[in-house]
Amino acid sequence: MANKYLWLLDNGHGGVIDGLYQTPGKRSPLWSDGSILYEGEFNRAIINRLVEMLTIDHINYVNITPEYEDISLNERVRRANTYYQQSDEQLNCVFLSVHSNAGGGKGYEIYTSKGETLSDKAATIFFDKFKGEFPEANMRVDTLDNDPDKEADFYVLKNTKMPAVLTENFFMDNEHECKTYLMTHEGRDRIAKAHYNAIKAIEEFGL
């Protein structure tokens, strides 16, 4: 398979260092069984699965935020745009940021920057593969609202220069979704698989 893209993989938020989650907020409620999900840990679990799958398939990628510290949005954009400046027509960059949603709701969402045709094409492919992997789940479309948390996440979409997609993988404050999809090996494998299937389709057919 020809390698046509360089996937710029972005773990949303910080990770856990010595048991200490690096990002305020960005977590599930403390569930009655004592469990809690930290979004940044989940985001890393998905990106790490993708790293393994893409490596095996010889698909080009960079984990642009390998640290466990919470890297600023500005720095994430700077790193992505640096790779973009080095890319050429043989190797086009696509930015992929992985998140989980909050604020009351259910299902998954795929966001793109406004007015970027290639991002929209990529997002359509991601939607398609998510639908294939999660026929039972709620696909949320046209849900743009004024949620400030999302605005912060969207900074990376607005300011990266390449096609860019941000996935909001289910709602961590929805107990069913959190415990079914986000806090289980099986759920995480399926979420990674949906991303992987989209990447494979884009590698095969292009944007």
Query: Which residues contribute to the site for Zn ion (CB under 5 A)?
Result: 12, 99
Instruction: Kindly give the pairing relationship between strand 109-112 and strand 164-171.
Output: antiparallel
Q: How far is the CB of 18 from Zn ion (least distance, A)?
A: 22
| Residue closer to Zn ion (CB basis): 153 or 203 | 153
| Residue closer to Zn ion (CB basis): 43 or 197 | 43
Residue 77 to residue 39: CA distance in whole angstroms: 20
**3-class DSSP state of 38:** strand
| Residue closer to Zn ion (CB basis): 12 or 15 | 12
Q: How far is the CB of 43 from Zn ion (least distance, A)?
A: 7
Distances (CA, A) of 87 to 57, 80, 202, 207: 20, 11, 17, 16
In single-letter form, the type of residue at position 160 comes to T
Q: How far is the CB of 116 from Zn ion (least distance, A)?
A: 20
Candidates 18, 16, 34; CA nearest to 26 is: 16
| Residue closer to Zn ion (CB basis): 12 or 107 | 12
Candidates 200, 188, 196; CA nearest to 44 is: 188
Q: How far is the CB of 72 from Zn ion (least distance, A)?
A: 14
| Residue closer to Zn ion (CB basis): 151 or 204 | 151
Q: How far is the CB of 99 from Zn ion (least distance, A)?
A: 3
Cβ-closest residue to Zn ion?
Answer: 99
